[in-house]
Amino acid sequence: MAEQLLTDLYDRIAPRFARSEPRRRARQYVAGLTTDLARKNGWTLAEQAGDLSPDGMQRLLRSADWDVDGVRDDVRDYLADHLGDAGELIVAEAGFAKKGRRSAGVARQFSATSGRVENCQVGIFLVYRSGRAQAIVDRRLYLPAEWAEDRPRCRAAGIGDDVTFAGKARIGDRMLARARAAGLPGGVPSGDDRTGGRCLRQAVRQAGLAQYQVRGWRAWHAHMTLSMAALAWLTVTGRRSGKG
């Protein structure tokens, strides 16, 4: 049953890849994220896949030809199909501690993960909860105003000129609108920070959400999308086995 559910997920996302090589690597990346590896980064995932270097995995995140947002949408639809329609949507955020100034969106800002101001990236996530099961259906890297006002710095991090400043609440509203436009079932948005935080911590533990070694805008979203896919499969598998 678990293998069939994984095949179902891969079949959904396969058309989003223009070539077989990134399609294969994406499958290996997601499979690696669901293992019990102590660290889940480019090197360890490459070794798990039998590669001699992390180049292929890094290329998958940074520049390979695939529709990152399309895969995000496929993961959302996969969860909607398997978790049912008696759910709710929860906007949550997480901080990812970083060193230096080059990673997209990094700044001294409040981290909901550590509960303090630190040098970090902040991700905004949309969680869908149905019964005892919950998983991530959307993600967006928060871009502080100091970044949005510095277009050369943005371009150096792969952030297009079409990406402008938006507050966290505005980002959450856009995610909710996108989910509803796609027909995702769900009641009134919940402000249940505990559930949202619990889901993100689960993604960190089980699907490598925070274990990435990339700096660029596109690579961050690519990793988060594949982590979403890994968590989606684990969630649906647990639901079917009665563990969700």
Q: Is the pLDDT of residue 136 over 90?
A: yes
Decide: residue 178, CB within 10 A, 0-12 exposed, 13-18 middle, 19+ buried: middle
pLDDT category, 188, cuts 50, 70, 90? low
Number of domains observed in the structure of the chain: 1
Average pLDDT over residues 15-26: 95
pLDDT grade for 131, boundaries at 50, 70 and 90 = confident
pLDDT level of residue 244 (50, 70, 90 thresholds): low
Distance CA 244, CA 236 (A): 8
Mean pLDDT calculated for residue range 217-226: 98
pLDDT at 187 over 80: no
Q: pTM score, two decimals?
A: 0.94
Per-residue three-class SS string for 133-160: EEEEEEEEECCCHHHHCCHHHHHHCCCC
Residue 170 pLDDT greater than 60, yes or no: yes
Q: How far apart are CA 39 and CA 148, in angstroms?
A: 32
Instruction: Please write the tens of the pLDDT for every residue from 23-70.
Output: 999 999 999 999 988 888 888 898 988 988 999 999 999 999 999 999
**C-alpha–C-alpha distance, residues 106 and 25, integer Å:** 28
Q: Which of 5-9, 46-50, 93-97, 131-135 has the highest mean pLDDT?
A: 93-97
Average pLDDT along the chain:
91
DSSP string covering the chain: -HHHHHHHHHHHHGGGBSSHHHHHHHHHHHHHHTS--S--SHHHHHHHTT-SSSHHHHHHHHT-SB-HHHHHHHHHHHHHHHH-SSEEEEEEEEEEE--SS-STT-EEEEETTTTEEEEEEEEEEEEEEETTEEEEEEEEE---HHHHT-HHHHHHTT--TT-----HHHHHHHHHHHHHHTT----SPB--HHHHHHHHHHHHHHH-TT-----SHHHHHHHHHHHHHHHHHHHHHHHHHT--
**Residues spanned by the domain of 62:** 2-241
Q: Give pLDDT, residue 71.
A: 98
* pLDDT tens per residue across span 72-109: 999 999 999 998 766 889 999 999 999 999 999 999 99
How many Cβ atoms from other residues are within 10 Å of residue 201's Cβ? Answer: 14
Checking if the pLDDT of 2 tops 80, the result is no
Q: Provide the pLDDT for residue 194.
A: 78
